[in-house]
Amino acid sequence: MNAATDIAIRAVALTKRYANGPEDKTALRDVTFSIPAARFWVISGPSGSGKTTLLGLLGGMIAPTAGEVHLNGRPLTHLRDHHRALVRRHGVGMVFQEFALVTGMSLEENLFLPFVPEGGPAAPVRRKAATLLERFGLAAFARTRVERLSAGERQRAGIIRALLGDAPVLLLDEPTASLDSANVERLVNHLADLRDEGRTLLATTHDPRLVDHPCVDGRLRLADGMLTA
């Protein structure tokens, strides 16, 4: 690796403003940081501090008002829509706070939804899904409708779906918000294993159980849209 590719996530002077009636609301202001590859970092801060907006910018889901995002040494901000969509599909995996699972569908069907635009999951994807379901303790629930799963099981399902695209970067929004202490520990151990395999993980949280966990490599803090630590 060279110095550029040693940095998996780089935010440069990120600013995001939203129209809010006659005035703009600034969700993020001049946020700059770098996260090395194969590390597990968290961003903490109260509700409304800009954590979810920051993840959306880093994952290419929304565009900044100003500033730049680089993933694995490649600038994301100024890519054409098509190329940014490819990065979202294969360069970065998103795990949403509310899991973004479709009720009435099985766990397996939810895992394969992102592959519908490509004509459905190919055989290697199906094999990988089976392996991940086994690894995360969900193999017995592959045909179970997702609304019947516990919060911890749905959280692990969201992680499996994010991993199916082989993304080297994983972004998680409040991953422990609805979990009890036993499931928090189980989840963090899974995330640490993914880090040890070479993935870079960044999670937003206001949960001290995650912020203070010894498996976490680095910590950032947001308040009122600005980095404070």
Residues in Cβ contact with 215 at an 8 Å cutoff, skipping those fewer than 6 apart: 40, 188, 189, 191, 192, 195
Residue 184 in any domain: the answer is yes
Q: What is the pLDDT of residue 91?
A: 78
Residue 89 in any domain: the answer is yes
pLDDT along the chain (229 residues), means of 10: 70 93 88 98 94 93 92 81 65 84 95 88 95 96 96 92 91 92 94 96 96 97 93
Residue 27 in any domain: the answer is no
Q: What is the pLDDT of residue 74?
A: 85
The torsion of the CA quartet 180, 184, 185, 188, rounded to 10 degrees, works out to 180
Residue 79 in any domain: the answer is no
Residue 63 in any domain: the answer is no
Q: What is the pLDDT of residue 100?
A: 83
Q: For the chain, what is the domain count?
A: 1
Residue 174 in any domain: the answer is yes
In degrees, rounded to 5, the angle at the alpha carbon of residue 195 between the alpha carbons of residues 192 and 201 is 95
Residue 107 in any domain: the answer is yes
* Beta-bridge partners for 23: 20
Residues composing the chain: 229
